[in-house]
């Protein structure tokens, strides 16, 4: 049995009463997160003052680092800081999950600061505001399907209908192939989704979709002009063009933002204009996600090995002329999806060294053209071979993977 962690996201169709209740739960989560942050900041300020006063470290105020510490503070102080909570009818599980979120953020910040966490630096947790979006969490299986078309959310009146069947999930929950370990309810552009975090056995799906041992391999060069150039070991080259969802929606987004800023603050028309902006952003995100999921699923199910570049996406975004296009492409998300999907279907991803000159190396004679610039889309090697920059890079990545493995 092969069990993995996986998310299952589905859109809800709440009644106005249920949507209002979910909005109140999102407000409660935001309130508790900010309460926890205030407790942490106050403890840090007290420790700094005590250190300045010469008080020994063992006698200084203890900062509430863990979720348990923060939960104790909330239970002790909510009668004073939130007297409305006891009679609000809101789920008591929301503050618990909010404290866990803050504790996880603190841990990530500290491990990043001390060098224990890989990847980009993580900053100290910030105050959560309404404009950051509405969302709240339930721990364990507090939220769960209540049938093939409804879910039960603690604190939300009645059963909330879903816009799609839950059969895939309910069947696996019934026979033990899946277990809910948490859930998140989130609002975007006036629409609500619930995401179940699952511990699930995917053996049946993965076995049915396992890559053939004789399946081809490929090298993939990512770029902005052509999103992916895929060079196969049979000599074929495929060009995949991204929808450039943000670029396509920029004109509508500019007009919607201008309309928003012309509206009076607090007015009903401003709320409608804000909704219009949110809908454009949601459409852009959905178009990008749809493209990336379809492409990565196709590759993971049809190639037994895939060679890619190790891209420094954060560094690439520092180029202000290209930052928007790089963000719109979603290179990092493409690699992330490839990595976990190839793990599902028995294929693998091989990443070249970040400094490997895939574009500058001649795929015919292996000579390196050190004078090649980003604007040179076609170039001729000293051996006489003529190269398309992206096609050549994809072939070199494929050859490097075969040489390394």
Structural contact between residues 356 and 403, judged by C-beta atoms closer than 8 angstroms: no
Annotated catalytic residue 309: yes
**268: number of Cβ within 10 Å:** 9
Q: Which of 279, 309, 386, 388 is the catalytic position?
A: 309
Rg (CA), the chain: 26
d(CA 218, CA 236): 9
Closest Cα to residue 252, out of 269, 275, 282, 276? 276
Contacts of 158 (CB under 8 A, 6+ apart): 15, 18
C-alpha to C-alpha distances, 41 to 35, 66, 68, 124, 338, nearest whole angstrom: 10, 14, 17, 10, 40
Closest Cα to residue 301, out of 336, 329, 337? 337
d(CA 307, CA 400): 8
Q: Which of 71, 187, 221, 328 is the catalytic position?
A: 221
DSSP 210: P
Structural contact between residues 229 and 393, judged by C-beta atoms closer than 8 angstroms: yes
Tokens of 240: 């995949």
C-alpha to C-alpha distances, 396 to 87, 299, 348, 366, 404, nearest whole angstrom: 66, 19, 18, 9, 12
Closest Cα to residue 93, out of 137, 47, 123? 137
Q: Which of 33, 187, 328, 390 is the catalytic position?
A: 390
Structural contact between residues 218 and 211, judged by C-beta atoms closer than 8 angstroms: no
Closest Cα to residue 382, out of 397, 371, 393? 371
Which residues have a catalytic role annotated?
221, 309, 390
């Amino acid at each position: 049995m092969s069990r993995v962690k996986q998310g299952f996201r589905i859109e809800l169709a709440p009644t106005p009463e249920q949507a209002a209740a979910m909005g109140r739960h999102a407000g409660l989560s935001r309130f508790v997160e900010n309460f926890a942050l205030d407790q942490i900041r106050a403890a840090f300020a007290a420790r700094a003052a005590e250190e300045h006063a010469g008080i020994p470290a063992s006698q200084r105020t203890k900062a509430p680092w863990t979720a348990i510490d923060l939960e104790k503070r909330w239970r002790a102080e909510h009668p004073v800081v939130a007297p409305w909570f006891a009679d609000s009818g809101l789920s008591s599980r929301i503050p618990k999950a909010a404290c866990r979120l803050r504790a996880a953020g603190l841990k990530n910040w500290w491990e990043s600061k001390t060098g224990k966490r890989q990847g980009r630096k993580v900053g100290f947790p910030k105050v959560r505001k309404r404009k950051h979006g509405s969302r709240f969490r339930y721990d364990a299986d507090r939220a769960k399907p209540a049938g093939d078309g409804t879910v039960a959310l603690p604190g939300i009146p009645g059963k909330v209908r879903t816009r799609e069947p839950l059969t895939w999930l309910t069947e696996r929950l019934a026979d033990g192939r899946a277990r809910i370990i948490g859930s998140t309810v989130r609002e975007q552009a006036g629409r609500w989704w619930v995401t179940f975090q699952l511990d699930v056995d995917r053996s049946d799906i993965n076995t049915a979709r396992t890559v053939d041992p004789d399946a081809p391999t490929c090298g993939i060069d990512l770029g902005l002009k052509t999103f992916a150039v895929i060079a196969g070991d049979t000599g074929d080259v495929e060009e995949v063009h991204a929808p450039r969802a943000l670029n396509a929606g920029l004109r509508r987004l500019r007009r919607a933002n201008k309309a928003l800023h012309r509206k009076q603050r607090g007015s009903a028309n401003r709320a409608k204009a804000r909704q219009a902006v949110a809908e454009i952003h949601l459409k852009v995100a959905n178009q990008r996600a749809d493209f990336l999921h379809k492409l990565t699923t196709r590759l993971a199910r049809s190639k037994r090995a895939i060679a890619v570049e190790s891209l420094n996406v954060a560094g690439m975004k520092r180029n202000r002329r290209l930052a928007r296009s790089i963000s719109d492409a979603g290179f990092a998300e493409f690699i992330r999806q490839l990595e976990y999907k190839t793990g599902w279907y028995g294929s693998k991803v091989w990443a070249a060294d970040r400094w490997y000159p895939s574009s500058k190396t001649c795929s015919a004679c292996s000579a390196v053209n050190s004078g090649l610039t980003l604007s040179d889309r076609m170039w001729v090697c000293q051996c006489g071979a003529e190269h398309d920059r992206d096609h050549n890079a994809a072939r070199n990545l494929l050859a490097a993977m075969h040489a390394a493995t």
